[in-house]
Amino acid sequence: MAEYKSAKEKKSNTLGCLKILLLIFNFLFWCSGAAVLWLGIWILQTKTKYVALLNSATYPACAWILIIAGVIICIVGFVGCCGAIRENKTCLIVYFVFLLIVFLLEIIAGILAYVYQDQLRGELKGGLNSTMIMQYKAKGSEGITRATDILQQDFRCCGVLNWRDWKANSPSFKTGPARNMTAPNSCCISPSDGCAARDHPSNIYHVGCLDAIESYIRTYLFIIGAVGISMACLMFIGMILTCCLHSAIRRSES
């Protein structure tokens, strides 16, 4: 009889410890979910100024995956708490399934972010040439023109590789309305109407925008990748705790 009581107390203590561990995990889970949601929104907001110049959807896709994962985490954390406090096996199974979904989403975001870094420069160079240079001041391309001007002023650059890209490759500056200009006014150190007619280094930026925006995007891709993989590790721990608690509840019932 004493041995039976001892075994029962041991099971009860194990169950209590697992419940506390899962509740602690849920608190961290909620905090991380809010952080991931904020990170995804922040990355999309900081990127929107240049969205018209980026041909690839990989970069925004990574941010959207983080946002979706963050929303799921914030909602599902409540299910985990209910399952742990009430010792409800159904809630714990649902919680485990959502943890698995978030785990896969974070892994995908992390992999996409790291893989995209390898093809980033080639895509950027081709994308900037086909949008920024070729469509600047073109009819119906007001968004590209605005994004280009913001980009060149923010990064203090001009063209893709250098300022000569405009006169050499842009239809607007070869035969179009800006043919008497060297580059857009946004290339000027002190922008004003017609300021880019003179190409002296004291007047316009000579360095291209490719290196600057590549470095800018790589920084965010690294953050997305690191957060995605870190969150996946956290989800894995949560899945193990959920399985252990579910198993302990089932044993205690039997």
Residues 6+ apart with CB under 8 A from 13: none
The answer to whether the beta carbons of residues 63 and 46 sit under 8 Å apart is no
* CA distance from start to end of the chain: 17
Sequence spans of domains, the chain: 117-238
Spatial distance between the Cα atoms of 249 and 81, rounded to a whole number of angstroms: 15
The CATH number that domain 117-238 falls under is 1.10.1450.10
Which tokens in the block code for residue 45?
């907001």
pLDDT at 2: 47
pLDDT at 24: 82
Total-model pTM: 0.69
Percent of the chain residues past pLDDT 90, beyond the cut: 7
Return the SS3 of 207: strand
Spatial distance between the Cα atoms of 173 and 181, rounded to a whole number of angstroms: 7
Three-class HEC string of 139-206: CCCHHHHHHHHHHHHHHCCCCCCECHHHHHHCHHHHCCCCCCCCCCHHHECCCCCCHHHCCCCCCECC
Per-10-residue mean pLDDT of the chain, 254 residues long, equals 51 72 80 83 72 67 79 78 75 84 82 78 82 85 86 91 89 76 89 84 89 84 81 84 81 72
pLDDT at 52: 65
Q: Which residue has the tokens 């925004």?
A: 60
pLDDT at 48: 60
Spatial distance between the Cα atoms of 168 and 159, rounded to a whole number of angstroms: 10
pLDDT at 57: 67
pLDDT at 200: 85
Kindly report, residue by residue over 132-165, the tens digit of the pLDDT. Answer: 888 888 888 888 888 889 889 989 999 999 989 9
pLDDT at 172: 83
Spatial distance between the Cα atoms of 23 and 231, rounded to a whole number of angstroms: 17
